[in-house]
């Protein structure tokens, strides 16, 4: 089982948490890592290279800091450019990512308690993930339980060690929820 980790932090030099998660993932052999800010800080995205990297994977993990309740623009650009029609969807057959799993790992400055109808942010964090869930569904991918790490500014060294361990386990665990392609929702005809 191969995992590709797409890291969508725009500037890891200023990162405490995503940089620590990245360092943790580098200790794992079967995880192929793509740090978008290293690969494409100024250059345009190499769509073929990105498609090749994820086409060969069983699991795709998107890791990013939450910016304005969404993903940073570098990762949105990656999604917009790499998940092309005729490749990821609109093929008349299952697209290139059908049957693979998608997991979100994200960090927030806001505390867990702030995410809810009565909290500072007014919505559960889950609501922020609807566009990504819809994307997974549309592409025939299996959505996996996200790892949302809240209140990261409050994390001390022991807290960072704990989240590194959770992330490590999550990347290595057996994916029992992984569904075979034939059990996924129907794909669309080529002209949709």
Give residues in contact with ligand FMN (CB under 6 A): 9, 15-18, 65-69, 107-110, 152
Cβ atoms of 149 and 106 within 8 Å: the answer is yes
| Residue 139 Cβ vs ligand FMN, minimum distance, rounded to whole Å | 25
Residue number with CB closer to ligand FMN (154 or 173): 154
Choice between 23 and 80, CB closer to ligand FMN: 23
> How many residues make up the chain in this entry?
192
Q: Which is nearer to ligand FMN, 17 or 53 (CB)?
A: 17
Which of 129, 134, 131, 122 minimizes the C-alpha distance to 148? 129
Tell me the C-alpha distance between 117 and 12, whole Å.
32
String of DSSP letters for 126-169: HHHTHHHHHHHHHTTPEE---EEE--GGG--HHHHHHHHHHHHH
In the bound complex, what is the minimum distance in angstroms from residue 52's beta carbon to ligand FMN?
27
Q: How far is the CB of 65 from ligand FMN (least distance, A)?
A: 3
The CA distance from 183 to 119, in Å, is: 38
Q: How far is the CB of 149 from ligand FMN (least distance, A)?
A: 8
122 or 189: CB nearest ligand FMN:
122
């Amino acid at each position: 089982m191969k995992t590709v980790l797409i890291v969508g932090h725009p500037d890891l030099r200023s990162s405490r948490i995503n940089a620590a998660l990245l360092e943790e993932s580098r200790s794992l052999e079967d995880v192929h890592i793509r740090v978008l800010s290293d690969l494409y800080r100024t250059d345009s995205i190499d769509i073929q290279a990105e498609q090749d990297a994820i086409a060969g994977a069983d699991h795709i993990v998107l890791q990013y800091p939450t910016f304005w309740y969404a993903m940073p623009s570098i990762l949105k650009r990656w999604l917009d450019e790499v998940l092309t029609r005729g490749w990821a969807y609109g093929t008349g057959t299952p697209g290139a990512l059908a049957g693979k799993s998608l997991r979100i790992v994200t960090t927030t400055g806001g505390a867990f308690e702030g995410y809810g109808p009565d909290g500072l942010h007014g919505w559960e964090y889950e609501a922020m993930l609807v566009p990504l869930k819809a994307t997974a569904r549309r592409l025939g991918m299996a959505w996996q339980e996200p790892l949302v790490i809240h209140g990261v500014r409050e994390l001390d060294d022991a807290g960072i060690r704990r989240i590194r361990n959770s992330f490590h386990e999550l990347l290595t665990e057996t994916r029992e929820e992984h569904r075979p392609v034939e059990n996924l929702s129907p794909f669309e005809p080529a002209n949709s």
